[in-house]
């Protein structure tokens, strides 16, 4: 032995692993595994169905216990941490801390988005919380996509428009927790209007890809999800990649003030589906995914029924369209986070490159389109590029859907010329301002689009026309404020929304939104510090959430300097 090596004293059994009296970690309850196997039936246990399975379990048991998560992990051959991190990431999954905890029979969610807050949702939530029976819990919730009927409450999966304590209490007493379907177009009633005729013409060769692409390009049709990227160029990027390819329809609109996609899905179901199928044909996709936000249960049931109808009619083969349900995460409106969620993971935005057009769903080149975008694809191909282009105003081309809420006489989805001004939109399509209200300010593009004063209501609501003013039109979510509203409080509401919805992956967004919300609630805003914080968020956040979150706050500093003092 080397003289420098210290002498060791060995003990019997040293170096051997000692047996533990019981296995480590949470053990799988075989009875719970059998229960879940029976509940889920014969559906596959593939990873992309994890969120779907969690929904089925929660809908049945009103929540998720640790035993449920362990049993599901066993069934899906996943680690418990993979299941647990997904279940706890999404706001609509209720994970119990122990197996004995009982979940409330009814959950009431009250929307606290800006349009609903303006309509008195905070007082509604307080009143419901004070009077709710022990079997009912009342929670605040982000935008439910029904801003034109504010305030909104949801009893189970049943939305209550223009909610009051009385109407919500009546629904609770009647156990009215199921989704109520609005009137919607069924396949048989749309065939006489030529439903799927354009798609069939594409498939049978009557319309060539070159002619379809040329029509779309000449129309100047852009993506209506917010970025406004030209549709034809998007197709080019995806078709430049080797197959197999995939198409994803982003129906996860969660921007406060945005509800147009729900409107299209419920009222123009087959127009949306046909446009989506045409896009899938255009890029030679092998599958089509529809990712629908969980706040739209009626749209989900309508899609489920009508997809089955077009399969039965032979328009498409069984399983070509895959309908997936979100779980309450605004971040999944970002295309790469959406794809992560489709794959059964947390909705964390991906670093780029590669872009999703190169590597999207399970590594396949993926075309992502918004619901409104594919609706217009079919309309343009039916009526022509000139018909579409000529509808624009103020130097813009085309038409689009504006979701209008707030202090107007007739809120709702308005199909109007692209480039219309706020004044024109309110007066010509919304019946003017609500009685007793005068225009004070407006959001041209939802929560992230900034806030403009009434003196700037003659700017075109179009891509590229508002950026120089620190705003953008985005998905066309227009929220109208009057003299009864505080732009300061509106900006705080929006920043709190971003704080809640940050996925937490990157520090500038996770910490920046939290700090900004706190600073904005001070009696006097520290403008220099807020601007510095804003710059850090814009420069270093991974995705558009953190980059655009400061827009409303900066708009207040820029256009409403007197509002920063309480």
Ordered DSSP codes for 490-539: HHHHHHHHHHHH--SSSHHHHHHHHHHHHHHTSSB--HHHHHHHHHHHHH
User: What's the pLDDT at 22?
Assistant: 60
Q: How far apart are CA 13 and CA 17, in angstroms?
A: 9
Q: How far apart are CA 330 and CA 34, in angstroms?
A: 34
Report the CATH fold assignment for 106-173.
Answer: Glutaredoxin (3.40.30)
User: What's the pLDDT at 382?
Assistant: 97
Nearest to 478 by CA among 517, 433, 539: 433
What is the strand order of the sheet 153-155 is part of?
136-141, 106-111, 153-155, 158-160
In residues, how long is the chain? 566
User: 187-383 has which CATH code?
Assistant: 3.40.50.11540
Structure tokens at 319: 């399983």
Whether the pLDDT of residue 476 is over 60: the answer is yes
End-to-end Cα distance, the chain: 79
Helix 527-540 × helix 507-520 angle, to 10°: 160
User: What's the pLDDT at 1?
Assistant: 45
Contact status, residue 411 vs residue 257, Cβ threshold 8 Å: no
Question: How does pLDDT run across 519-558, given as a tens digit for each residue?
Answer: 999 999 999 999 999 999 999 999 999 999 999 999 999 9
The predicted model gives 31-59 an average pLDDT of 96
> What three-state secondary structure class fits 326?
coil
Whether the pLDDT of residue 23 is over 90: the answer is no
The predicted model gives 470-494 an average pLDDT of 97
Ordered DSSP codes for 62-115: SSB-HHHHHHHHHHHT--HHHHHHHHHHSTT--B-SSSSPPPPSEEEEEE-SHH
Residue 5's pLDDT band (cuts 50, 70, 90): very low
Whether the pLDDT of residue 339 is over 80: the answer is yes
Contact status, residue 225 vs residue 373, Cβ threshold 8 Å: yes
Number of neighbouring beta carbons within 10 Å of residue 77: 8
Q: Which of 9-13, 46-50, 55-59 has the lowest mean pLDDT?
A: 9-13
Nearest to 423 by CA among 394, 380, 446, 386: 394
Name 152's Cβ contacts closer than 8 Å, sequence gap at least 6: 110, 111, 116, 121, 144, 146, 159, 160, 161, 163
User: What's the pLDDT at 299?
Assistant: 98
Q: Identify the helix (H) or strand (E) that includes residue 247.
A: strand 245-251
User: What's the pLDDT at 99?
Assistant: 79
Q: Which of 189-198, 237-246, 323-332, 382-391 has the lowest mean pLDDT?
A: 189-198
Structure tokens at 44: 């596959």
User: What's the pLDDT at 103?
Assistant: 80
Report the CATH fold assignment for 487-564.
Answer: de novo design (two linked rop proteins) (1.20.1440)
Whether the pLDDT of residue 4 is over 70: the answer is no
Q: How far apart are CA 213 and CA 216, in angstroms?
A: 5
Q: Which of 21-25, 59-63, 347-351, 405-409 has the lowest mean pLDDT?
A: 21-25
Contact status, residue 425 vs residue 399, Cβ threshold 8 Å: no
Parallel, antiparallel, or unpaired: how do β-strands 285-292 and 245-251 relate?
A: parallel
Structure tokens at 419: 């480039």
Query: Is the domain covering 399-482 a CATH 3.10.20.600 domain?
Result: yes
Q: How far apart are CA 381 and CA 397, in angstroms?
A: 16
Phi-psi region of 479 (alpha: psi -120 to 50; beta: other; left: phi over 0): beta
Question: How does pLDDT run across 206-224, given as a tens digit for each residue?
Answer: 999 999 999 999 999 999 9
Contact status, residue 303 vs residue 268, Cβ threshold 8 Å: no
Whether the pLDDT of residue 6 is over 80: the answer is no
Quickly tell me which residue has 């009508």 as its tokens. Answer: 306
What is the four-CA torsion angle of 390, 392, 398, 402, rounded to 10 degrees?
Answer: -150
Task: Domain ranges for the chain, please list them.
Answer: 30-89, 106-173, 187-383, 399-482, 487-564
Residue 248's pLDDT band (cuts 50, 70, 90): very high
Q: How far apart are CA 345 and CA 222, in angstroms?
A: 29
> What three-state secondary structure class fits 259?
coil
Structure tokens at 395: 């130097």
């Amino acid at each position: 032995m080397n003289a420098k090596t210290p002498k060791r004293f060995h003990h019997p059994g040293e170096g051997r692993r000692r047996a533990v009296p019981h296995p480590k970690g949470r053990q799988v309850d075989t009875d719970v595994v059998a229960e879940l196997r029976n509940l889920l039936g014969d559906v596959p246990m593939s990873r992309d169905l994890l969120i779907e399975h969690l929904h089925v379990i929660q809908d049945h048991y009103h929540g998720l216990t640790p035993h449920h998560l362990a049993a599901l992990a066993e069934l899906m051959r996943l680690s418990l941490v993979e299941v647990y991190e997904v279940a706890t990431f999404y706001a609509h999954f209720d994970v119990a801390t122990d197996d004995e905890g009982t979940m409330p029979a009814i959950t009431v969610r009250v929307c606290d988005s800006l349009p609903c807050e303006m309509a008195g949702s905070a007082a509604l939530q307080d009143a419901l919380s004070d009077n709710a029976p022990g079997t009912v819990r009342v929670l605040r919730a982000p935008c439910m996509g029904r801003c034109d009927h504010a305030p909104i409450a949801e009893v189970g999966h049943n939305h209550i428009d223009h909610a009051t304590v009385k109407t919500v209490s009546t629904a609770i007493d009647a156990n009215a927790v199921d989704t109520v379907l609005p009137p919607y177009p069924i396949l048989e009633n749309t065939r006489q209007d030529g439903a799927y005729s354009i798609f069939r013409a594409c498939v049978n060769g009557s319309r060539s890809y070159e002619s379809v692409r040329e029509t779309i390009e000449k129309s100047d049709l852009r993506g209506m999800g917010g970025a406004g990227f030209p549709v034809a160029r998007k197709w080019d990027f995806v078709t430049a990649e080797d197959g197999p390819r995939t198409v994803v329809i982003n129906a996860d609109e969660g921007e406060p003030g945005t509800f147009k996609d729900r409107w299209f899905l419920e009222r123009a179901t087959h127009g949306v589906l046909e446009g989506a199928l045409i896009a899938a044909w255009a890029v030679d996709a092998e599958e089509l995914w529809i990712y629908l936000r969980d706040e739209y249960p009626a749209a989900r049931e309508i899609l489920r029924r009508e997809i089955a109808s077009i399969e039965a009619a032979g328009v498409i083969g069984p399983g070509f369209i895959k309908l997936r349900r979100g779980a309450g995460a605004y971040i999944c409106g970002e295309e790469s986070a959406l794809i992560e969620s489709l794959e059964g993971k947390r909705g964390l935005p991906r670093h780029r490159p590669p872009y999703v057009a190169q590597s999207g769903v399970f590594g396949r080149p993926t075309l992502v389109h918004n619901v409104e975008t594919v609706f217009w694809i079919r309309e343009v191909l039916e009526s022509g590029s000139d018909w579409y282009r000529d509808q624009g105003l103020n130097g813009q081309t085309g038409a689009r859907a504006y979701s209008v809420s707030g202090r107007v006489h007739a809120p709702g989805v308005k199909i109007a010329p692209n480039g219309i001004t706020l004044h024109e939109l309110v007066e010509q399509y919304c019946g003017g301002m609500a009685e007793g209200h005068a225009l004070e300010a407006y959001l041209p593009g939802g929560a992230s689009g900034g806030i403009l004063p009434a003196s700037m209501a003659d700017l075109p609501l179009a891509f590229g026309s508002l950026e120089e003013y620190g705003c953008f039109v985005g998905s066309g979510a227009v929220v109208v404020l009057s003299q009864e509203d505080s732009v300061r409080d509106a900006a705080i509401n929006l920043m709190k929304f971003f704080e809640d919805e940050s996925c937490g992956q990157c520090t500038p967004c996770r910490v920046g939104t939290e700090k900004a919300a706190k600073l904005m609630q001070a009696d006097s805003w520290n403008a220099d510090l807020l601007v510095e914080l804003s710059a850090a968020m814009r420069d270093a956040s991974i995705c558009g959430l953190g980059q655009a979150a400061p827009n409303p706050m900066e708009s207040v500093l820029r256009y409403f300097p007197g509002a920063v003092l309480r």
